[in-house]
Structure 1
Amino acid sequence: MIEVSLQHRFAGGDGGRMQEAGFAIDLAFRSPTPGVTAIFGPSGCGKSTTLAAVAGLLRPQAGRIVLDGEVLFDSAARRMVPPERRRCGVVFQDAQLFPHLSVRSNLRYGLRRAPRGAEGPALEEVVALLGIEPLLDRRPARLSGGERQRVALGRALLSRPRLLLMDEPLSALDAARKAEVLPFLARVRDRFRIPILYVTHAMDEVDALADRLVVLEAGRVLAEGTVEALAARPDLPALAGRRDAGAVIRCTLAEQLPGRGLTRLDFAGGALLVPAVPGAVGEALRIRVPARDVSVAVARPEGLSVQNILAARLEQLTPLPSGEVMLALAVGPTSVLSRVTADAAARLALREGMPLWALVKAVALSHRSDEEAAAG
C-alpha cells in the first residue's frame, strides 16, 4: 500500500518546478501495491510536486508518506528518509540521460545505483523487454524521443526500485512516438509488478496503463478510485467535461467473426460488436466507449447501420458548461455515458429512471493483455 498525505505552501520557485507563490497543496490518497496509480489533472494542480515529495526531492511542511509499511516521511515524527535510500526509480519528461555516455553506459549507471543484494532484472532482460539492443552503442543525441524514454525507463528499472515514479514521460512525444512507447510501459507493468505512480494529463495513457486514478485540482484530491468507476461519473468536470469523456468497461473477447470482419466483446450487462480485434477467445480487454459516440432513443430503432443497440436505464442527467447534457446510463450493472445536446434532452423529455436504447457507434481499445502488448 502507498499512503500519501501532504500539506505544503510554496513561497515561489519551490519543489523542483516553478510554483506560483502562495500555491498550496493539501491532499491525501492511498493506493494498493502492486498496481499503477495515475495522478491526473491540469497543469499546475500539484501532480509533479506530489511525485517530488514521494521521491524525497521535496520536504513537505507537513504530512506522511508510507510505502508497504515503511515510513518514508513523517513530519510529526521528524522522519525524512533521504532520496537515495527510498529506492524510487524516477522517469522524467525529458529522459535526462547522460549525453556523453552510450546507451549501454547509461543503463549500467542504473545498475550501479542498485543496493547491494537487491533483487531485480538483469541488464540483458531489460534490454530485451524494451527492445533497445540495437541502440546500445549509440549516444542519446542519436536517439528519437521514444527511444530516449525507453532507455530512461530501462535505467530506472536497473536501479532495482521498490517504486517507479513517472512524471509525464510521454508528454513531449508526438502521437506516433507515444504509440511506440506505451506497449513497452505495459510490458514493464505486467512483467515486474513494481508499483507505479504515473503523472499525466492524457486520458489515453490512463486508459492504457492505470488501475487506479487520483484526480487533482488546485492542490486537492477531487476524486480517487478505479479508472472504470471515475470515468463513468458525470459529476466530475475534470473528466466528464473533456471531449474524450467516456465510460471505461472491462470486457472479454467472446467470439471472432472473420466472415463479417468483427469481434464480439462481452461485458457485464451486454455485448458489443467491434471491428476485428486480434486475440484469443477468453482474453480480457478494457475499452473506452466515448460519450460523444453514444446516442439514445426512447424506442428501439430499426434500419440503422449502427449494430450496437443496448437496452439501458437513464440514471442521471448532468448539464455541461458547453450547453450539452451528459447522460449516465445503466446497461445492466455497467455504466455508459452519452453526450447529447440540451435540445435533444428536451425534445425526448428525458428524465431519470426512464428506459432508453443506447446506440454505440464507436469503441476505443484501451488495454489488452501483456502477450498482445508484447506482440506490438
Structure 2
Amino acid sequence: MLEVALRHDWPPPRGGEGFSLDIAFAAPTPGVTVLFGPSGCGKSTILAAVAGLLRPRAGRVALDGTVLTDTASGLLVPAERRRCGVVFQEARLFPHLSVESNLRYGARRAPREATGPGFGDVVALLGIGGLLRRRPAGLSGGERQRVALGRALLARPLLLLLDEPLASLDLPRRAEVLPLLERVRDTFRVPMLHVTHALEEVDRLADTLVLLQAGRVLASGTPEALTSRPDLPLLAGRRDAGAVLRCLVAGHDPGRGLSRLDFAGGSLLVPLRPEPAGTRLRLRLRARDVALATRPPEGLATHNVLPATVESIGPAPGSPHEVLLRLLVGPTPLLVRLTRDAVGTLGLAPGQGVWALVKSIAFDHGGPA
C-alpha cells in the first residue's frame, strides 16, 4: 500500500497569492497510481515529497509498511535511500556518456541485495539495444525517454515516480512510449506513481486515480468509478468526458472488420482490433458519442444498441444548454451528453428505460487493462 498525507504552504509572491497543499490518499501496490489535474494543482509537489526531494511542513509517506516520511516523529529518509526511480519530463541523461553508460549508472545505484530486472531484460523490453553506443544528443525525444525509463528501472526501485514523462513529446513519440509504460507495468510489476493531465494516460495506465485541484484531493478510486461520476467537473466538464469500460475481447470477425468486446451488462462491436481473443481492455466511451432512443430503433447503421436505465439527469458542467445523464447498462454506468431540448423532447426522467446508441467507429482509442 502507498500511503501519502501531506501539508505544505508557500508564501505569496509580491502582488500574488500563496499556495497551500493539503492532501491524503492511499493506493494498493503493485499498481499504477495516477495523479491527475490541471497545471499548478500540486501534482509534481506530491511527487517531490514522495521522492524525498521536499520536506513537507507536515505529513507522512509510507510504502508497503515502510515509513519514508513522518514529520510528527522527525523522520525523513534521505532521497538516495528511498529506492525511488524518478523519470522527469526531460530525460536528464548524462550528455557525455553513451546510452549504455547511462543505463549502467542506474544499475550501479541498485543495492547489492536488490532483486529486479537485469540489464538485458530492460534493454529488450524497451527496444533500445540498437542505441547502446549512441550519445543522448543523437537520440529522439522518445528514445531519450526510453533510456531514462531504463536507467530508473535498472536501479531496481521499490517505487517508480513518473513526472509527466510524455508531456514534452509529440503525438507520434507519445504513441511510441505509452505502450512501453504498459509493458513495464505488466512485466516488472513495480509500483508506479504517475503524474499527468492527459486522459489517455489515465485510461491506459491507472489502477488508482487521484483527482487534484488547487492543492486538494477531489476524489480517488478506480478510473471506472470516477469517470462515470457526473458530479466531478474536473472530468465530467471536459468535451472528451466519458465512462471507462473494462472489456474482454470476446472474438473477431475479419470479414466484417469488427471485434466484439464484452463488458458487465452487454457487448460492443468495434473496428477490428489487433489483440487476441481473451485480452482485457479498457475503453473510454465518450458521453458525446452516445445517442438515446425511447423505443427500440430500426433501420439504423449503428451496430451497438444497448438497453439501459436512466439513473440521473443533471446540468453539464460548463455548458448551460446541455445536460449530463448517467445510465446503467446492467451494472455498468455510462455518461451521455445531450441538449436540454433533446431531454425535454424525449421526456426523459430518472428510472426510465431507454436504448443507448453507439457507433462502432466511436472506439478509435484504448489499450490493455
**For this structure pair, what is the TM-score category when the shorter chain's length is used for normalisation?**
over 0.9
Superposed CA RMSD: 1.2
CA distance in 2 between partners of 1:330 and 1:74 (Å):
43
Question: Structure 1 residues 320-329 or 46-55, which shifts more?
Answer: 320-329
Alignment of 1:297-316 (within 5 A): 297-316=293-312
Q: Pick from 127, 138, 142: which aligns with 2:138?
A: 142
Pick which of 116-125 and 69-78 moved more.
116-125
Match of residue 360 from structure 1: 358
* Paired position in structure 1 for 2:84: 88
CA distance in 2, matches of 1:270, 1:163: 37
Deviation, 1:256, is 1.3
Task: Give the fraction of aligned pairs with identical amino acids, expressed as a percent.
Answer: 65
Q: Is the 8 A contact 2:271 2:363 kept in 1?
A: no
Aligned pair partner of 1:332 in 330, 333, 341: 330
Alignment of 1:168-187 (within 5 A): 168-187=164-183
Q: State the shift of 1:194 in Å.
A: 0.5
Q: Output the CA distance in 1 between the equivalents of 2:258 and 2:264.
A: 20
Distance in 1 between residues matched to 2:177 and 2:4, nearest whole Å: 28
Distance 1:21 1:338 in 2: 38
Q: Partner of 1:231 in structure 2?
A: 227
The residue that corresponds to 1:349 in the other structure is 347
Deviation at 1:299, TM superposition (A): 1.2
Distance in 2 between residues matched to 1:281 and 1:107, nearest whole Å: 36
Who is 1:70 aligned against? Answer: 66
- Deviation for aligned residue 1:100: 1.2
Q: Secondary structure at the match of 2:319?
A: coil
Offset at residue 364 of structure 1 (A): 4.2
Distance 2:248 2:187 in 1: 21
Question: Comparing 126-135 with 314-323, which one deviates more in the overlay?
Answer: 314-323
> Aligned partner of 1:355: which letter?
G
CA distance in structure 2 between the aligned counterparts of 1:159 and 1:40, rounded to whole angstroms: 26
Is the 1:269–1:334 Cα contact (8 Å) retained in structure 2?
Answer: yes
The equivalent of 2:319 in structure 1 is: 322
Q: Give 1:147-166 correspondences, 5 Å limit.
A: 147-166=143-162
**2:292 aligned with 1:296, yes or no?**
yes
Return the TM-score normalized by structure 2: 0.96
Per-residue Cα deviation, 1:307-338 (whole angstroms, up to 9, x for no partner): 10100001111212222111111000011111
Between the aligned partners of 1:266 and 1:138, the Cα distance in structure 2 is 46
Q: Deviations over 1:23-81 (max 9, x none)?
A: 00000000000000100000000000000000000000001101100110011111000
Does 2:83 align with 1:112?
A: no
Matched position secondary structure for 2:123: helix
CA distance, structure 2, for counterparts of residue 266 and residue 174 of structure 1: 33
Tell me how far 1:12 sits from its aligned partner: 5.9
The separation in 2 between residues aligned to 1:281 and 1:346, in whole angstroms, is 42
Q: Name the SS for the 1:45 alignment partner.
A: coil
Counterpart position of 1:220? 216
Q: Determine if contact 1:288/1:364 at 8 Å carries over to the other structure.
A: no
What is the CA–CA distance in structure 1 between the aligned matches of 2:312 and 2:254, rounded to whole Å?
38
- Distance in structure 1 (CA, Å) of the matches to 2:175 and 2:234: 24
Q: Summarize deviations over 1:262-310 as a string: whole Å, max 9, x none.
A: 1111111111111111232222221111111101111111111111010
- Residue of structure 2 equivalent to 1:278: 274
Q: Provide the secondary structure at the position in 2 that maps to 1:27.
A: strand
Which residue identity lines up with residue 322 of structure 1 in the other structure? S
Gaps of 5+ in 1: 14-19, 370-376
Q: How many residues align?
A: 363
Amino acid at match of 2:368: R
- The one-letter amino acid of 2:106's match is G
4+ residue runs of structure 1 moved beyond 3 angstroms?
A: none
- How far has the Cα of 1:11 moved from its partner? 2.5
* Matched residue type, 1:202: A
The letter for the 2-side match of 1:304 is L
Structure 1 partner of 2:10: 10
Structure 1 residue 260, shift from structure 2 partner: 1.1
SS in 2 for 1:148: helix
Give the TM-score normalised by structure 1. Answer: 0.94
User: Aligned with 1:38: secondary structure?
Assistant: strand
Amino acid corresponding to residue 68 of structure 2 in structure 1: L
User: Cα offset for 1:365?
Assistant: 4.0
